Amino acid sequence: MFKIIISVCLMLFVSCQGNEKSNPIAVAYGNKLYLEDLMPYFNVDLSEEDSLLLLKNITNEWVLKQSKLNQAKSIGGVNIDKLVEDYRQDLLVNTFINSYIAANLDTAVKEQELRQYFKENEQNFILSRNIIRLIFVRIDKEEKDLKKISKWVKNGSTEDVVKLSEICASQADNYFLDYNVWLDFDDVLKELPIKTYDAEQFLRANRYLEIPDGKYVYLINIVDYKIKNSPSEFEFERENIKKVLLDSRKNVLLKKLEQELLEDAYKNQNIEIFIQH
């Protein structure tokens, strides 16, 4: 059983500056918790009531942790020292490997490599969700150039987008004009006031939309879209492909490292295996 001693004196807490510890505020299974140990948890702006409540909560959590630790120690068949040593060794090895990779991995991936991988594995890139390319402008309904801006958004030509970028920088409340970027339609729905219960039907039926939003209006041009379960687009998969290629390089690098470590160890007679073949 454990004994809890909560005798709080906030003045003592504030003035605890000496080297010697005060009496413990809690004892559990022979371990002691001192008021000084909890000082980092407290803010000087806390009221006396809030400080006392925080102190009680922290103390209760400490007591519960000590109880769990005590119960855990009674479990048979668990070699804690070995678990700790295994974890320490794994931590050291992982730190070494991460440092080696950071220093030796070539992270530059050429455009040609990305496209070549996509071309050779195109059958593996099937969309699991709907994606779209679009441009949109959120602008005041009373904007004097609204008709002109609406026309440019609806046309969506390169020339129109250039004009939009110039005028939106100073007159639009929000906008997105990079029509080359493929976006997850579900993510778009979180940002734009589009309401639909059938995403696929919506995308098939709509290209240009004007959606009122309070004092503003959203002007939206859906430039292109692709429905889930159809072949994906290279630009949408670019980052995924880059990650795959870098992971492959990383695996090759680690294999090379392992081979060099073993060869060096045998060469310097630092290892010896006694298993008979």
pLDDT in tens, 228-243: 999 999 999 999 999 9
Task: Give mean pLDDT, residues 112-134.
Answer: 96
Q: Residue 1: is its pLDDT beyond 80?
A: no
Would you call 136 helix, strand, or coil by DSSP? strand
Mean pLDDT of 91-99: 96
Name the β-bridge partners of 133.
Answer: 224
Strand pairing category for 31-33 and 26-28:
antiparallel
pLDDT at 10: 46
Residue 17's pLDDT band, with cuts at 50, 70 and 90, is very low
pLDDT at 35 over 70: yes
pLDDT band at 44 (very low <50, low <70, confident <90, very high): low
What is the C-alpha to C-alpha distance for residues 75 and 83, in angstroms, rounded to an integer?
Answer: 14
Higher pLDDT, 239 or 44: 239
Domains and CATH numbers, the chain: 10-73 (no CATH), 127-226 (3.10.50)
pLDDT over 90 (residue 82): no
Percentage of the chain lying above the pLDDT 90 cut: 65
How confident is residue 138, by pLDDT bands cut at 50, 70 and 90? Answer: very high
Q: Distance between CA atoms of 242 and 260, rounded to whole angstroms?
A: 27
Q: Which residues contact 244 (CB under 8 A, 6 or more apart)?
A: 117
Asked which of 52-66, 93-107, 147-161 is least confident by mean pLDDT, the reply is 52-66
> What pLDDT, on the 0 to 100 scale, is given for residue 210?
96
DSSP state of 35: G
- If pLDDT is split at 50, 70 and 90, which confidence band does 277 have? low
Q: What is the mean pLDDT of the chain?
A: 88
Query: If you average pLDDT over residues 17-21, what whole number do you get?
Result: 53
Going by pLDDT thresholds of 50, 70 and 90, the confidence category of residue 16 is very low
The answer to whether the predicted template modeling score (pTM) of the entire model surpasses 0.75 is no
Angle of CA points 183, 184, 187, to nearest 5°: 105
Q: Range with the lowest mean pLDDT among 93-97, 171-175, 271-275?
A: 271-275
Question: What pLDDT, on the 0 to 100 scale, is given for residue 11?
Answer: 44
